[in-house]
Amino acid sequence: MIKAILNRKILTYGLIFSLVLVSFMIVFNLKVLAEETDQNLDEYPTKHIENIVGERDDRGFLMKLLFGPKTTVRLDKPFGVSVDDKTGKIYVADTNNAFVMEFESNGSYSNRIGEHELQSPIGVDVSDDRIFVADAKAGKVYIFNKEGKFIKDFGGYTTEKVTFKRPTGLAVDNKRQRLYVADTGAHNIKVYDLDGNYIETIGKRGTEEGEFNFPVNIEVDKQGKLYVVDTINYRIQIFDAQGQFIREFGETGITLGDLPRPKGVAVDKQGRIYVTDAYLHLVQVFSPKGTPLFFFGRPGKSDGRFVLPAAIDIGENGKIYVVDSGNHRVQVLKLKEDRGSNE
């Protein structure tokens, strides 16, 4: 009798337990499914402000009014971009023109930087009073003042020492007086002070947290957090100001939300992370925690579309500067409305 009751109890508890478990599994699977479905990102409306295409001639007002501004030297193979929030000036590193072009905030051309020094400038960023340029071909980082005058360089190849194997993206942390350089060929991030004195190296080749496989670009936010485009690991890695790994997001794939060929990264005021992708030919925006939020652009030549987008920067005024390398221009865009990070 007792045995029968016990068996019935076991049966009842067993059934309840299995029902709870099944419910849990269904809910869990729905959650997984929801997360997967979340990859169907919305295209976000952007306002196209202008295209920066190159140097313009210096004709008079009437000629410009009648015929429009004429471009003389075009952006050929631009990769890096940086906007100086103090002056509004925009700096574009062009690998084929072999100098950095400086533009006024309205997109008009103002100056060439490093015309006699640079060979293949790829990364550019600015501090309070200096312009830093990474040259992949020379294997050097060049420092100029804001007038474009050469101050110094460091790195380069000698028989005794190879400082950089292939420096590409760089980022300045003005507050902490640090310069981060992505050495794509060495698969690490090298850290310097703003005079070019070596401090430390972050990471090595690999796929684990804090390791890299062809890192090509970097961004530093206001808190000193470092965002690394770890291109052939198909992810963004985030580090704190001390170089400690915080998180990663992204994977390879052919759907939105994936990062098959990430090339540029920027962070806006709300901490949202913008990533350009040279295979999807668009910009995807992620929450600070790495959740995909929305995207803008798609492959094409018209305004708001991209071919092989490269570096990206976001100004204090909310303007988004995307190097649209395949279309030989920098597109200046703004989000039409702001939904927040949804977190």
Partner 1 sequence: MRKTSVIVVSILVVALFTMPAFADIQNSEHDFTASSTATRENTGGYTDLKDNTTTTCSPCHVPHNASKNTLLFQTSYNDAETLTAYNTGDTFSAETKMCMSCHDGTIAINTSTKDYMTADGTSGGTKLVENLGTSLTNDHPVGSSVTLPSSANTNFNSPSLVDAQLGGQVTCGSCHDPHNTTNGSFLETAKDGLCLDCHNK
What residue ranges bind partner 1 (CB under 8 A)? 7, 10-11, 14-15, 17-18, 21-22, 25-26, 28-29, 32, 76-77, 79, 95-96, 120, 122, 136-137, 166, 168-169, 184, 205-208, 213-214, 216-217, 231-233, 252-254, 260-261, 263, 278-281, 298-302, 305, 307-308, 310, 325-328
Nearest to partner 1 of 138, 194 (CB atom): 138
Minimum gap (Å) between residue 118 Cβ and partner 1: 12
Which residues touch 119 (CB under 8 Å, ≥6 apart)? Answer: 98, 135, 137, 138
Minimum gap (Å) between residue 310 Cβ and partner 1: 7
Minimum gap (Å) between residue 148 Cβ and partner 1: 22
Class of residue 260 by CB neighbours under 10 A (exposed 0-12, middle 13-18, buried 19+)? middle
Minimum gap (Å) between residue 56 Cβ and partner 1: 19
Minimum gap (Å) between residue 317 Cβ and partner 1: 28
Both structure tokens of 334: 């703004």
Nearest to partner 1 of 272, 305 (CB atom): 305
Nearest to partner 1 of 75, 202 (CB atom): 75
Q: Which amino acid is at 272?
A: R
CA torsion 95→183→289→318, rounded to 10°?
-30
Minimum gap (Å) between residue 270 Cβ and partner 1: 28
Nearest to partner 1 of 44, 279 (CB atom): 279
Nearest to partner 1 of 156, 271 (CB atom): 156
Nearest to partner 1 of 120, 188 (CB atom): 120
Helix (H, G, I), strand (E, B) or coil at 9: helix
Please give the full DSSP string across 49-87, using - where no structure is assigned: EEEE-EEE----HHHHHHH-PPEEEEP-SEEEEEE-TTT
Residue 148, number of CB atoms within 10 A of its CB? 17
